[in-house]
Amino acid sequence: VYKRQVWVLILAGAIVVRTLGLKPELDLEPEEPVLVKGARILQILYAAHLEGRGVTDAEIEDEVSLGSGEKEHLMRVLLDLRVLRHADESWFLGRSLKSLTLWDLYQKMPEGLDLQSLGQVQEMDHVVEPLKSLVQFGSNQMAISLDTVFAGVE
């Protein structure tokens, strides 16, 4: 009986320690699209690259508000695009940004792009304006009823 109680106390303690170590979710209204967060990370990496240094996880987390799972998702996408590499506890650009386009990022991270969320993004006009144009164009082109689309199909 005592063994069971000891294990329950140990597991409860582990849960408490783990919970205390979690970064609280910041419910910032409104949330930035994932693509914009990815662009912010790339901007940080680019600035560090120009200085000849890498960027730590802490630096990224201080500059970019990331929810649970977002950082892992973003880093995985950037690694898949081969624009990111990790060495000596730091992140570095893995290739020139001349060969990476906003379209490349959009294809990998299209979620959450709408005019309202893009309108709330601050200090990233050079990224947001082309995305707003894309969203507006896409919504204009896709604002057609399926009845019209299927009318001539047999």
**Integer Cα distance of 73 and 55 in angstroms:** 18
pLDDT at 28 (0 to 100): 42
Question: What does the alpha-carbon distance between residue 107 and residue 69 come to, in Å, rounded to a whole number?
Answer: 19
Distance CA 93, CA 99 (A): 12
> What was the pLDDT predicted at 148?
81
Buried b (16+ CB within 10 A) or exposed e, 93-122: beeeeeebeeeebbebbeeebeeebbeebe
Global confidence as pTM: 0.72
| Average pLDDT per 10 consecutive residues for the chain, totaling 154 residues | 80 79 51 90 95 94 87 92 92 92 89 82 87 86 81 70
pLDDT on residue 154:
58
Q: Report the phi/psi class of residue 153: left, alpha or beta, with left for phi > 0 and alpha for psi in -120 to 50.
A: beta
Distance, in Å, from the CA atom of 99 to the CA atom of 140, rounded to the nearest integer, reads 29
